Structure 1
Amino acid sequence: MLYATTTPVDKRRAFRKLLASGELLRFPGAFNPLSARLIERKGFDGVYISGAVLAADLGLPDIGLTTLSEIAGRGRQIARMTELPAIIDADTGFGESMNVARTVQELEDAGLAGLHIEDQVNPKRCGHLDGKEVVDTDTAIKRIRAAVDARRDPNFLVMARTDIRAAEGLDAALDRARRLVDAGADAIFPEAMRTLDEFAAMRAAVDVPLLANMTEFGKSDLFSVQQLADVGMNIVIWPVSMLRLAMGATGRALDHLNAEGHLTGLLDAMQHRADLYDLVDYEAYNHFDTSVFNFTVER
């Protein structure tokens, strides 16, 4: 009932243990708290919270317009709704070193299991758009050092994302990743890698966990979980996929409503009310204190 019973500290500890196992962890992107609970129900390893999704949820493009308070608030709402660890996209840290430090502590307090901070210039762009610019190595290192120094829970995962592959090539990405690991990054998110061979090269370059981003319509081919496991990836995310599917279905439903004047023909495509009630655990609320409030759950 209400929120997760596992504390953020325990989620982080369990996540670190699972990450150390070496198996590939699957983190679909949640676009709201209810979808995070469904991700848990379906047996995945964790929840990813995309900056692009959070921006889109506000009707904004992913170009650095969202604020730390917006990200932390929505991150808290999603993370507290699931027993799974949740990793959040913290963009560039919402500023430079001191801002990065505050970002880490705000997101720790919001109950997240970890974050990633990227090496783009401010304002940033969506990772799979052309024309990205990255900061110099010294600035990128300072961001990660600030993040590591600021965290209070040593199990809070500080992941460094590098976007340099698209700007300067693979060799630059490998070198940047090594430098970020030396700066204290717990894991590396190499954005917009194009082939399995590139992922394999990154695996050979660093000895920390690696994240693969399987976002549709981007720079990377869409590899399977098994393909990514075979080249040594540790986490795979589908950051915007669930939102895209939900919005696609909503668009088709609105077209159907315009054309037919009703949605009777789409009932089989909908989540049944009974399934929704089960997912939000109506029965637990009903039994919590029937002397205060009581209702019947229809099936």
Structure 2
Amino acid sequence: MEQRIALREGLASGRLLRFPGAFTPLTARLIEDRGFDGVYISGAVLAAERGLPDIGLTTLTEVADRGRDISSVTNLPTFIDADTGFGEPMNVARTILSLEAAGVAGCHLEDQVNPKRCGHLDGKSVVEPAEMVRRVRAAASARTDPNFVIGARTDARSIEGLDAAIERAKAYVDAGADLIFPEALETVQEFETFRAAVGVPVLANMTEFGKSELFRASELADAGVSIVIYPVTLLRIAMGAIERGLDLIADDGTQAKLVPDMQTRARLYELLKYAEYSRFDADIFNFDIPQEHS
């Protein structure tokens, strides 16, 4: 509940919130340690970890479990990708209840046709606005915590144009969306136009290799954007390092040259809070063995 209130207050603050994407609970700890505002949980990353493309193959159970795993290890608010809601409006309602129970602070639903695809790929399709309105209404009606943030993502910009995407977003706000996620906008000015038109917080997706430029946080803040996510950045950094490391081990027969770039054992143990577990163990289980009487 405190995390949800923090997200609500952050969105109302007028400043830009920065949410890097965590691909493990441990990376969420590091995001918090580095002073970011929150943690994003990407559906594309969840699929990639399972060796799957981002085309709607993951399940509500997998998404909720990942939300629970990550939200339980950080004090920051977590915002999760709920794809198209995993079915019809009744399924969307169950999705919201499941994500609330998982402890996340909010989620976003999208207006793509199911099965969906990555928002920065060509060939995607969107449902009729009325169908997405039903999804959003189902989500807003189902939540039991009024502070749980419901975001509505529209992929219509690259299909129907900016004006049509804005009209869709307005309808989604009227249906109960607290936040709008306009996918694949092309300029900072488009974000500014979107924010002025919809009247609720707007999210910017700064994913690499996509249709949007990688705008600086200051540019997005000046455009009135409320939250920026970096959904796949940490996974891509890690996978790039892993590929280079595997090549070096294959060539050199040892990982010795990689050691200077590794996180140390001491730093890993610090993030894992080994010392706190040790103190807990000592406080609870430290006792004297009674002497036997002859």
TM-score bracket, normalised by the shorter chain, equals over 0.9
- 1:16-42 Cα distance to aligned partner (Å, 9 max, x none): 112111100000000010000000000
SS at match of 2:285: coil
Partner of 2:7: 15
Q: Does 1:58 align with 2:50?
A: yes
1:162 is matched with 154
SS in 2 for 1:125: coil
SS in 2 for 1:289: helix
Determine the C-alpha separation between the residues in 1 that align with 2:9 and 2:221: 18
* AA of the residue aligned to 1:142: R
Structure 1: 5+ residue stretches without partners: 1-8, 294-299
Say which of 226, 244, 247 aligns to 1:252.
244
Aligned length: 286
What TM-score, normalized by structure 1, do the two folds share?
Answer: 0.94
What is residue 192 of structure 1 aligned with on the other side? 184
SS of the aligned residue for 2:31 comes to helix
Q: Distance in 2 between matches of 1:116 and 1:139?
A: 15
Q: How far 1:292 sits from its partner (Å)? A: 3.4
Amino acid at match of 2:221: A
Once the two structures are TM-superposed, the CA of residue 271 in structure 1 deviates from its matched residue by 0.4
- 1:45-194, aligned counterparts within 5 Å? 45-194=37-186
Structure 1 segments of 4+ aligned residues over 4 angstroms from their partners: none
Q: Deviations over 1:152-188 (max 9, x none)?
A: 0000000000001111111111111111111110000
RMSD: 1.1
The alignment's TM-score, normalised by the length of structure 2, stands at 0.96
The separation in 2 between residues aligned to 1:14 and 1:242, in whole angstroms, is: 24
In the alignment, which residue of structure 2 is the partner of 1:287?
Answer: 279
Indicate the residue corresponding to 2:27 in structure 1: 35
Which structure has the larger Rg?
2
Distance 1:99 1:145 in 2: 12
**Residue 242 of structure 2 aligns to which amino acid in structure 1?**
T
Instruction: Indicate yes or no: 2:221 matched with 1:229.
Output: yes
Distance 2:242 2:65 in 1: 25
Displacement of 1:289: 2.3
Question: Structure 1, residues 119-159: CA drift from partner, whole Å, max 9, x if none?
Answer: 00110011111001000010010000000000000000000
Runs (5+) with no aligned partner, structure 2: 287-294
1:204 aligns with 2:192: no
> How far has the Cα of 1:14 moved from its partner?
1.7
**Cα distance in 2, alignment partners of residues 49 and 43 from structure 1:** 17
1:175 alignment partner AA: E
Give the letter for the 2:145 counterpart. D
CA distance in 1, matches of 2:176, 2:273: 41
